[in-house]
Amino acid sequence: MHIAQQILFILVSIAAVILFSKKTGAIRSNILLGKDEDLSDNKNQRWKNMVLLALGQKKMFKKPLPALLHFAVYAGFIIINIEVLEIFLDGIFGTHRVFAPVLGGLYNYLIGFFEVLGALVLIACLIFLIRRNIVKVPRLRMPELKGWPMEDANIILFTEVVLMSLFLTMNTADLCLQMHGAEHYTHPFTGFAGGHADFWVTGHFTGLLSGMSDGALMGLERTCWWLHIIGIFAFLNYLPYSKHMHILLAFPNAYYSRLTPNGAVKNMPEIQQEVLYMMEPDKAPAAPGTEAPHRFGAKDVMDLSWKNLLDAYSCTECGRCTAACPANQTGKKLSPRKIMMDTRDRLEEVGKNVRLNKSFQDDGKSLLHSYISVEELRACTTCQACVEACPVMIDPLSIIVQLRRNLVMEESNAPQEWNMMFGNIENNMAPWKFSPDDRDAWTA
């Protein structure tokens, strides 16, 4: 590789890393707008969750076929990065297949394995495109996915198809040049049969390029090499703007998942304290010792915890939560997936506001009402089906409960049936319309 190409490659690499770092830094700042929550306990269990759920994708295998296809894409994404590392080093140092002389015969098997993975990724992405756009799987065609979310999924799948096609075409041209004994393409493979590598997939397709001259093959190989690495840099910088940021965030999200049993609702100490003072006035301080909380429950993203906001960015938009939701199945407006998407959209808006104004300036909107409606929140039965279904341990219910607390405690916005129950609890110490003295009257 000429020195000019090396310089160009280094400049492109630096620009890609800077742009990626800037956007991921903004996402981190957005997540830290949330309230503090301590999730540092039981580190052994947390590491286990990360290995089994994020790395091993354990919960994905409740649906075996999509899980196997997704695992092929995921494994390809992780493992083929070793080949990308070689391409990156070749670009910097002007070498060609820098690992080949170091690894010797093992290199042949690694490249063959990478090619098999690349082919599997290509096939899986084509199947996913067919499932989304031709078969039209119901959970992938719901209203909240119309417009950009659906386009985003197709863009990513199409990009992966192109990247794998470039990778395999590059290797096919490379192998043809090795077989021709072309300079710069043979020396790494000394010791292999015939003086060239034996690529497991592309070795079967060299005949398609047999009529091309060495110059044309070199042009094809270099073009695919450049487009492949530039495509990877573009993919890297597209991730933070896409739902596919879950590729990176699934790991911390699984590690910091809440370890409390599903269904355990977190109480508000401020409310418990007020009730205690009502029941036992002698324990109330003469003067308020602490200020009242800024807000009961949550109205906007700043009222949620940083873990809720990490959940929003980690959402894969797979729709398993919504498909499992009984409220959604019976035609209610609630979609747990939409709750997470709305939270992420609002957080992006708030983050831009903060960066522009140095602190948040009221824009007349909030997560509650502007993005998520009262009808959606009331439809939730708190059954935990969405939490159980999520493959990366996202908890939509936590957000729903906090928004409903704000509705009831700050806006007194509750259905009449709820208000009757609240009144009974306040007056009769029970949800029923009987005084404590008459509670056994039903026996008569």
The answer on 383 and 348 residing in a single domain is yes
pLDDT value, residue 194: 47
pLDDT value, residue 190: 46
The answer on 231 and 334 residing in a single domain is no
With a cut of 70, say whether residue 218 has pLDDT above it.
yes
376: Cβ contacts below 8 Å, ≥ 6 apart: 333, 334, 335, 338, 339
Q: What are the beta bridge partners of residue 35?
A: 305
**What is d(CA 164, CA 69) in angstroms, rounded to the nearest whole number?**
15
Mean pLDDT value across residues 303-320: 94
With a cut of 90, say whether residue 310 has pLDDT above it.
yes
The answer on 183 and 157 residing in a single domain is yes
With a cut of 50, say whether residue 181 has pLDDT above it.
yes
Write down the residue that tokens 């047999």 correspond to. Answer: 210
User: What global pTM score does this model have?
Assistant: 0.85
Beta-carbon neighbour count of residue 280 at 10 Å? 9
Q: Among 371, 308, 368, 315, which Cα is nearest to 345's?
A: 371
Instruction: Provide the CATH number for the domain around residue 380.
Output: 1.10.1060
The answer on 104 and 18 residing in a single domain is yes
With a cut of 50, say whether residue 193 has pLDDT above it.
no
pLDDT value, residue 183: 73
pLDDT value, residue 362: 92
pLDDT value, residue 198: 62
The answer on 299 and 243 residing in a single domain is no
Helix, strand, coil percent values for the chain (each to nearest 5): 70, 0, 30
With a cut of 50, say whether residue 289 has pLDDT above it.
yes
Q: Is position 81 within any domain?
A: yes
The answer on 417 and 314 residing in a single domain is yes
Structural domains in the chain (count): 2
**What is d(CA 294, CA 307) in angstroms, rounded to the nearest whole number?**
19
* Residue ranges making up the domain that contains 337: 269-285+293-434
Using 50, 70 and 90 to split pLDDT, how confident is the model at 429? confident
More confident residue, 397 or 65: 397
Q: Is position 410 within any domain?
A: yes
The answer on 95 and 145 residing in a single domain is yes
Q: What are the beta bridge partners of residue 170?
A: none
Mean pLDDT value across residues 176-198: 63
Query: Which tokens sit at 1?
Result: 């590789």
Tens digit of each residue's pLDDT (9 = 90 or more) over 378-423: 999 999 999 999 998 999 999 999 999 999 988 989 888 888 888 8
pLDDT value, residue 30: 96
More confident residue, 292 or 237: 237
Mean pLDDT of the chain: 87
User: Per mean pLDDT, which range of 53-62, 98-107, 288-297, 412-421 is the poorest?
Assistant: 288-297
Q: CA distances (Å), 360 to each of 16, 33, 303, 305, 336, in order?
A: 30, 10, 13, 17, 27
The answer on 331 and 229 residing in a single domain is no
Q: Is position 55 within any domain?
A: no
Q: Taking a C-beta distance cutoff of 8 angstroms, is the pair 396, 387 a contact?
A: yes
**What is d(CA 354, CA 134) in angstroms, rounded to the nearest whole number?**
42
The answer on 112 and 74 residing in a single domain is yes
Instruction: Provide the CATH number for the domain around residue 174.
Output: 1.20.950
Using 50, 70 and 90 to split pLDDT, how confident is the model at 34? very high
Q: Taking a C-beta distance cutoff of 8 angstroms, is the pair 199, 112 a contact?
A: yes
Q: Is position 44 within any domain?
A: no
Alpha helices in 315-415 (DSSP H): 320-324, 326-329, 336-357, 374-379, 385-389, 396-411
Mean pLDDT value across residues 12-20: 95
How many angstroms from the chain centroid is the CA of residue 36? Answer: 21
Q: Taking a C-beta distance cutoff of 8 angstroms, is the pair 306, 32 a contact?
A: yes
pLDDT value, residue 71: 83
The answer on 374 and 332 residing in a single domain is yes
The answer on 301 and 207 residing in a single domain is no
Tens digit of each residue's pLDDT (9 = 90 or more) over 359-368: 999 999 999 9
The answer on 190 and 134 residing in a single domain is yes
